[in-house]
Amino acid sequence: MRTHRDGDGGQVAVEFLGMVPLILLTLALLWQVVLVGYTYTLAGNAADEAARAYAVGDDCHEAALRHFDGAWKATPRCGADGAGMVTAVVSVEVPVLVPGFGGLFRVVGKAGAIDERNLTP
């Protein structure tokens, strides 16, 4: 014998439609977390590259911005402390969902290297 409840036809479709916004919001938040992590990685790598380049007398700004495309906004600063060390600081904006659109906050990557410009072999 088959039992049938009246009025529950299409319940799965209604529940699915109710969950779609929550699923999309969760995916958007996860993607934003990925972008934050990637921005930290980019800032740290750019600072390392800039410090190495500055330590041997190359262009610090060009080395820092080499791995960024036009959508990422980065500002590098390099300097020497006078005690044989050079430092590089790269500040990068975390994009909102898509690189190039807005900025949530700035991430700062810092790196240092031994100043090799005045070393004699």
Q: What is the pLDDT of residues 1-45, one digit of tens each?
A: 556 666 666 777 788 888 899 999 999 999 999 999 999 999 999
Distances (CA, A) of 87 to 57, 59, 109: 13, 13, 11
pLDDT average, residue stretch 88-115? 88
Q: What is the pLDDT of residue 22?
A: 93
H, E, C per residue of 29-85: HHHHHHHHHHHHHHHHHHHHHHHHHHHCCCCHHHHHHCCCCCCCCEEEEEEECCCCE
* Residue pair 14/75 in contact by the 8 Å Cβ criterion: no
pTM: 0.77
Checking if the pLDDT of 110 tops 90, the result is: yes
Q: Report pLDDT digits (tens) over 56-91.
A: 888 888 999 888 877 788 889 998 877 788 999 999
- Sequence-separated (6 or more) residues with CB below 8 Å from residue 107: 36, 39, 40, 43, 91, 92, 93, 94
* pLDDT for res 37: 93
